[in-house]
Amino acid sequence: MEKYENDIKLKLNHITKYFPGVVALENVTLELKTGEVHALCGENGAGKSTLMNVLSGNHQPDGGEIILKGQQVVMEDQQVAQQMGIGIVYQERSLVNDLSVAENIYAGNQPTNGWGFINFKKLFAQTRILLEKLGMADIDPTTKLEYLSPGKQQMVEIAKALSQNPEILILDEPTASISETDAKVLFQIIRSLTKEGVAVIYISHRMSEIFQIANRVSVLKDGKYQGTKEVGEIVVDDIIRMMVGRDLVKQDYKSHALDEIVMKVEDFNGPDYLNINFELKKGEILGLAGLVGAGRTELARAIFGMDKKYEGRLFLNQNQVTINHPLEAMNLGIGYLPEHRKEQGLFLEMTVEENIVATNLVVAVENRLLQFSKITEIADAYIQKLGIKTPDSKQKVVNLSGGNQQKIVLAKWLLLNPKVLIVDEPTHGVDVGAKSEIYAILKELTEKGTSIIMISSELPELLSLSDRILVLCNGNMTAELPREKFSEEEIMHYASGTKNMFTSDLTKKGQPISVS
């Protein structure tokens, strides 16, 4: 790592923030030095995002002070924070699909002509210069955002923050939706920025990234500051102990897969995948690996009836079935935990209990009447079982942390008791403690006979949980790996197209599909 200067660029003194029924931050003090990458860790709900929202002007603290370059300041709103040199990239994107890349990056700050209209020629030119400088020259400034992959959209979000030339850059889970290639580009950008004196606050649940990119790491737990350590003086277990207050129980691999075939996919063809064939066994965790845009999510959505396929047959317990709608899939015992929980998996403005029973209201019906006391009883049971941190079951889901929201999505499907559960990025944006709990839930499901198809971009997650792994590359299935053949290197070869288990020539199964 590059040496950083010892002067303090920012100091947060005794920051306190209350929400209804919750102390989100309590006397948190944190220092940020010029030119350093300062990692901020903590479980979901520890107060990381709240602290960054205070710094970026989205929340006003109920106590404490912000000292910026030796002067006490008040971040009245996000615009004031930007003027003071604070840039932030949120975990949830803040872009507009109908606008071009350039319009998103320079939203509210576009160059204009003498008539006050946007000078698009100049806008596209300066956007192209910025993207080239940031190593993102493959992104066309004129392209509508909706046509970009989620990973590229995240890179646009980062470019938007950097277009403001911030002195302090806050990155909240910046690599959660991007490929390894884009992550390397991001790390190069961060290193270049710190050489110019920019200070970076880096929030991530991925411990390996922290040790790659950070100088120091601070930990929050339950809204309280736990301490700051130099990265070179600690190991991962030290951070985890500070975060969760205990050592995580390491789960040994144990398969619950039986010989019985519960699902068979035959010759699935769609806009983003080609000639997909596989079987799923009872009690098995079948991993789906691949790079961003490989077609994994599109395949899962087609199985669940969310997206149309061109052709293909689906068998459940040897019977051919037709699924054209998610409700038909649910009636057949198939559940789907989507990649984007907020947009596709939750009713954010509804309560915890309303979300949990949403997939199976019948369990709360007596004498043909919905029993609200029964809904609360069921929800309370799942809150306790899954360790969901919420004041009570009447709390709106939008007010909970990402990890707790993810557990609520899981609770919805546990209540339905599916025969097959598809989980797409099940620990996306989830802390190490919650990850361990989710892994235990998935293994418990397989022990009871549920079969799981798991899509994950985190190879260690796939390697530790899966009984078999299927690898997709540009919509083609390139490998089916039994557990004894698992390795990160092998998976990456098949995922990047340098190997194909089924044929040395991808074109023998049809031309590989270009997936944006």
- Residue in the structure block whose two tokens are 């596989």: 278
Q: What would the pLDDT profile of 123-158 be if each residue is shown by its tens digit?
A: 999 999 999 988 888 899 999 998 887 778 888 998
- Can you read off the two tokens belonging to residue 53? 């929202």
- Residue in the structure block whose two tokens are 């939203």: 107
Q: In this model, does residue 1 exceed pLDDT 60? A: no
pLDDT at 424: 92
pLDDT at 433: 73
Least confident of 241-255, 272-286, 303-317: 241-255
- Confidence band of 508 (pLDDT split at 50, 70, 90): very low
CA distances from 233 to 222, 236, 246, 247, 394 (A): 24, 11, 19, 19, 44
DSSP secondary-structure letter at 429?
A: T
Stretch 487-506: mean pLDDT: 77
Q: In this model, does residue 180 exceed pLDDT 80? A: no
- Domains of the chain, first to last: 8-244 (3.40.50.300), 251-333+418-516 (3.40.50.300), 347-417 (no CATH)
pLDDT at 331: 92
Task: Name the pTM for this structure.
Answer: 0.62
Stretch 182-199: mean pLDDT: 90
Q: What is the DSSP string of 274-298?
A: EEEEEEEETT-EEEEE--TTSSHHH
Least confident of 107-116, 202-211, 506-515: 506-515
- Confidence band of 509 (pLDDT split at 50, 70, 90): very low
- Can you read off the two tokens belonging to residue 299? 């395949």
List Cβ neighbours of 127 (8 Å cut-off, separation of 6 or more): 101, 102, 105, 106, 141
**Amino acid in the structure at residue 408:** I
- Can you read off the two tokens belonging to residue 372? 């609200």
**Amino acid in the structure at residue 484:** E
Phi, psi (rounded to 5 degrees) for 346: -140, 155
Phi, psi (rounded to 5 degrees) for 420: -125, 130
Please tell me the distance from the alpha carbon of residue 461 to that of residue 297, in angstroms, as a whole number: 17
List Cβ neighbours of 485 (8 Å cut-off, separation of 6 or more): none
Q: Which residue has the higher pLDDT, 267 or 113?
A: 267
Residue 195's CB: how many other CB atoms inside 10 A?
Answer: 11
Angle separating helix axes 402-416 and 372-386, nearest 10 degrees: 120
- Can you read off the two tokens belonging to residue 399? 């007010």
Query: 360: number of CA atoms within 13 Å, CB side?
Result: 19
Least confident of 124-128, 130-134, 422-426, 434-438: 434-438
- The percent helix, strand, coil of the chain (3-state, each to 5) is 35, 25, 40
Q: Which residue has the higher pLDDT, 200 or 510?
A: 200
Q: In this model, does residue 3 exceed pLDDT 60? A: no
Q: What would the pLDDT profile of 237-270 be if each residue is shown by its tens digit?
A: 888 788 876 555 556 778 999 999 999 999 999 9
Q: In this model, does residue 169 exceed pLDDT 60? A: yes
pLDDT at 247: 53
> Coil, strand or helix: which one is 108?
coil
- Order of strands, edge to edge, in the sheet holding 451-455? 319-321, 311-316, 261-270, 273-281, 476-482, 468-473, 285-289, 451-455, 420-424, 334-337
Stretch 107-124: mean pLDDT: 86
- Confidence band of 516 (pLDDT split at 50, 70, 90): very low
Q: What would the pLDDT profile of 315-339 be if each residue is shown by its tens digit?
A: 999 999 999 999 999 999 999 988 7
Please tell me the distance from the alpha carbon of residue 307 to that of residue 300, in angstroms, as a whole number: 9
> Coil, strand or helix: which one is 27?
strand
Q: How many residues does the chain have?
A: 516
Q: In this model, does residue 489 exceed pLDDT 80? A: yes
pLDDT at 279: 96
Residue 373's CB: how many other CB atoms inside 10 A?
Answer: 9
How much is the mean pLDDT over the chain?
A: 86
Q: CA angle at residue 95 from 93 to 101, to 5 degrees? A: 125
Please tell me the distance from the alpha carbon of residue 205 to that of residue 158, in angstroms, as a whole number: 18
pLDDT at 76: 92
Q: What would the pLDDT profile of 448-458 be if each residue is shown by its tens digit?
A: 999 999 999 88
Among residues of the chain, what percentage have pLDDT more than 90? 48
List Cβ neighbours of 432 (8 Å cut-off, separation of 6 or more): 43, 205, 207, 240, 243, 244, 248
